[in-house]
Structure 1
Amino acid sequence: MSLVITWMTTCWALVMALSPLLQVRIVLRHRDATGASVAWPSILLIGSVLWLLYGLLHDDLPLIIANVVSVVVCLFTVGVLLRYRPASPRAARAEGLRLEA
C-alpha cells in the first residue's frame, strides 16, 4: 500500500509541477504577460529548490523527480513572463509608444 501511495503522490506532484505551463500557454498565445505575476512562479521555484535539496539529502527519488521537473518548469515560466511582460511607461516613452491606462 505504501508503494501505491508513493507513486500516486509522485504523479500528482508532477501534475502540480507542470501546472504553471497552463499560464505559459496563455502568455505565449497572446504574447503578453499583463496581469501575470512573476512572484508566483518565483516563490514556487524557491520551494521546489528547497524540496529538491531535501530529496537529495534523503535519497528520496519521488521528491527528486517531482522537484527537478518543478524547477525546470518554474525557470521556464519566469523566463516567459519576463520576456512578454508589458513595457514600463518609461521604456514605452523612450520607444515612442503610448500605453493606455
Structure 2
Amino acid sequence: MYDFVFWIGIAAALFITVANVPQVVKIVKSGDVKSISVLTYSALVLGNALWLVYGVLKQDVPILVANAISTLLCTAILLLKLFPKLIASVQDKTMKNN
C-alpha cells in the first residue's frame, strides 16, 4: 500500500509542478500578461512557499522539490505580471541564444 500512496503523491507533485510551465512559456512568447491575476499568483506563491517550508520541516523530498519548483515558476509569472519590462529582457536573451 505504501508504494501506491507514494507514487500517487509523486504523480500529483509532478502534475502540479508542470502545470505552470505552459503559462511561463506563453507569457515569454506572447508578452501578454493582461489576463494574469496578481491576487491568484500571489496566493499561489504564498501557498507553494508554505508547502515548501512544510516539506523542509517534514524532510519530505517529493513535497520539497515539487513546491520549490512551483514556487519559482509562480514567482516568475508574478514578476512578469508586475514588471512587464522583464518580458522584453527575457525575449531578447532568448532570441540571442537561437
TM-score, normalization: structure 2? 0.72
Shift of residue 64, structure 1, vs aligned partner:
0.9
Shift of residue 12, structure 1, vs aligned partner:
2.1
1:49-88 alignment runs, 5 A limit: 49-84=49-84
Shift of residue 49, structure 1, vs aligned partner:
1.1
Extract unaligned runs of 5+ from structure 2: 86-98
Deviates more, 1:65-74 or 1:1-10: 1-10
* Number of residue pairs the alignment of both structures matches: 85
Shift of residue 21, structure 1, vs aligned partner:
2.3
1:10-49 alignment runs, 5 A limit: 10-49=10-49
Runs of 4+, deviation exceeding 3 Å: none
Extract unaligned runs of 5+ from structure 1: 86-101
Share of identical aligned residues, percent? 29
Whole-angstrom CA distance in 2 between matches of 1:47 and 1:37: 15
Shift of residue 77, structure 1, vs aligned partner:
1.4
Between Structure 1 and Structure 2, which shows a larger proportion of helix residues?
A: 2
Whole-angstrom CA distance in 2 between matches of 1:69 and 1:60: 14
RMSD across aligned positions (CA): 1.9
1:18/1:73 contact within 8 Å kept: no
